Amino acid sequence: MPQRPQMQPEPPRNPTLANPTPPPPAPPVAPQASRPQPPAAPASRPTPAVIGSSMYIKGDISTREELVVDGEVDGTLESHSLLTVGPKGKVRADIKAREVVIFGSVHGNIEAAEKIAIRGEGSLVGNIKTAGISIDDGAYFKGSIDIVRPEPRGAARAVAVDEDVEARVG
């Protein structure tokens, strides 16, 4: 019997298709219960508590966290952190906080351990006791300012301004 010539297969034109690389094996999956999850990374700045623009609160508010007031508050406000009165905020209360920033309206006395800032269209009618103050152009302030400077030993000394001040900046 005559021998048939054997045909050689034609080499592939794309060498990658001819020798595909198998995908790497999937890593073993451990059950979730047996492997503790790492704690979530803390946010760079915690979300503040907010009194919304549609809210009206009458009474005493005390918090350790940052507070933003965009609604209305009658009474007293105390924060161990930053207290911000937003542009829509209307506060008729005495305020005691580490730092106070006013974009809205405040009628009441403020005591801030670090500083008070009255921004842009903000207004404050009341007396201030603080270590630092900033009043922007366009802001309104009527009252007295008592600057408290910390002494080297940590004791505070008050520097009083005896007369009332009314100022419209800008």
Q: Which domain holds residue 64?
A: 49-168
Q: Which whole-number Å values give the CA distances from 3 to 6, 8, 152, in the listed order?
A: 9, 15, 109
Residue 37: inside a domain: no
Per residue of the chain (170 residues), what is the pLDDT tens digit?
A: 556 555 555 555 555 555 556 666 665 555 555 545 545 545 566 788 999 999 999 999 999 999 999 999 999 999 999 999 999 999 999 999 999 999 999 999 999 999 999 999 999 999 999 999 999 999 999 999 999 986 655 455 555 555 566 666 66
**Number of domains making up the chain:** 1
Is 87 inside a domain boundary?
yes
Would 18 be classed as within a structural domain?
no
CA angle 94, 166, 76 (to 5 degrees): 5
88 inside domain: yes
The sign of the CA dihedral 98, 101, 102, 103 is negative
Q: Specify if 62 maps to a domain.
A: yes
- Nearest Cα to Cα of residue 131 among 91, 97, 84, 102: 97
Is 12 a domain residue?
no
Is residue 14 in a domain?
Answer: no
